[in-house]
Amino acid sequence: MKAFEFLRENNHDGLTVVLDKGLPPKFVEDYLKVCGDYIDFVKFGWGTSAVIDRDVVKEKINYYKDWDIKVYPGGTLFEYAYAKDKFEEFLNECHNLKFDAVEISDGSSDIPLEDRKKAIEKAKDFGFTVLTEVGKKMPEKDKKLTICDRINLINFDLNSGADYVIIEGRESGKGIGLYDGEGKVKESELEELARRVNVKKVIFEAPQKSQQVFFILKFGNSVNLANIAFDDVISLETLRRGLRGDTFNKISPISNNTQ
């Protein structure tokens, strides 16, 4: 039972995806007692998994599993393996380490669409939940993508079997994807996107509080958000429930205008 149970309302079914960039194992076990209920996926950011002991990686995945949280390595690790022609070994290692999901992306490399499709299908065949990511890591490359390019790729990935598509925002949330240099959302682009894709299948990387507030007020408290820092999970949950100043009195129960 939660404290102050009599104030409980504004339930939601928005996905929360946390960025774990190398948390210590016992700390993870401890921290899930506070916020394990509010996390759906954890990404071991970019290639961080590959510099950490196997035993520690497995121990952490186990703690997350205890709370029904799905864990996956960052897309950059997939790209790194793929570029070295070790996709099969990558999937086997993900399986052995007990990852539940994988991310297929092309943020740091170029992968033809046909190969992207095959990668998604192969990962699904292995039994993984598949998330893909749309966007480039380097701002100068990313800004060449029009909103139409992004929309087309989102729908391509979903049609190829991806379970969810993540919109790139990086750890900073600035000058990338749907964000301008200060981290403000480009609203007209977002609206175009919302008209042409199924927003329930999209997860927005929104590392900054102002961005989380924006998406919640725009799409309702069930909007899917990613790249949440581990120490912001509780804050995000209070934002979704109207328990923080920024969304106080602005959340309507079942306020999901994403459909």
- Binding footprint of a second copy on the chain (CB under 8 A): 1-8, 21-27, 30-31, 33-35, 38, 45-54, 56-57, 73, 76-77, 79-81, 83-84, 86, 89-90, 93, 97, 107-109, 137-138, 170-171, 209, 231, 233-235, 237-238, 241-246, 248-249
Q: Decide whether 57 or 197 has the Cβ nearer to a second copy.
A: 57
Q: Decide whether 49 or 258 has the Cβ nearer to a second copy.
A: 49
What's the min distance (Å) between Cβ of 149 and a second copy?
19
| Tally of CA atoms within 13 A in the half-sphere of 73 that contains its CB | 26
Q: Decide whether 19 or 223 has the Cβ nearer to a second copy.
A: 19
Distance CA 26, CA 30 (A): 6
Q: Decide whether 5 or 114 has the Cβ nearer to a second copy.
A: 5
**3-class secondary structure, 99:** coil
Distance CA 226, CA 131 (A): 12
Distance CA 239, CA 249 (A): 11
φ, ψ for residue 32, nearest 5 deg: -65, -20
Q: Which residues contact 226 (CB under 8 A, 6 or more apart)?
A: 15, 16, 17, 19, 41, 43, 166, 169, 203, 204, 205, 206
Residues 126 and 171 sit within 8 Å (Cβ to Cβ): no
Q: Decide whether 14 or 242 has the Cβ nearer to a second copy.
A: 242
What's the min distance (Å) between Cβ of 180 and a second copy?
17
Q: Decide whether 187 or 250 has the Cβ nearer to a second copy.
A: 250
What's the min distance (Å) between Cβ of 116 and a second copy?
17
Q: Which residues contact 117 (CB under 8 A, 6 or more apart)?
A: 156, 160
What's the min distance (Å) between Cβ of 89 and a second copy?
5
Token reading at 239: 């934002």
Distance CA 96, CA 200 (A): 30
What's the min distance (Å) between Cβ of 228 and a second copy?
12
Token reading at 51: 């510099």
Task: Provide the phi-psi class of 132: left if phi over 0, else alpha when psi is between -120 and 50, else beta.
Answer: beta
Q: Decide whether 52 or 148 has the Cβ nearer to a second copy.
A: 52
What's the min distance (Å) between Cβ of 146 and a second copy?
21
What's the min distance (Å) between Cβ of 254 and a second copy?
18
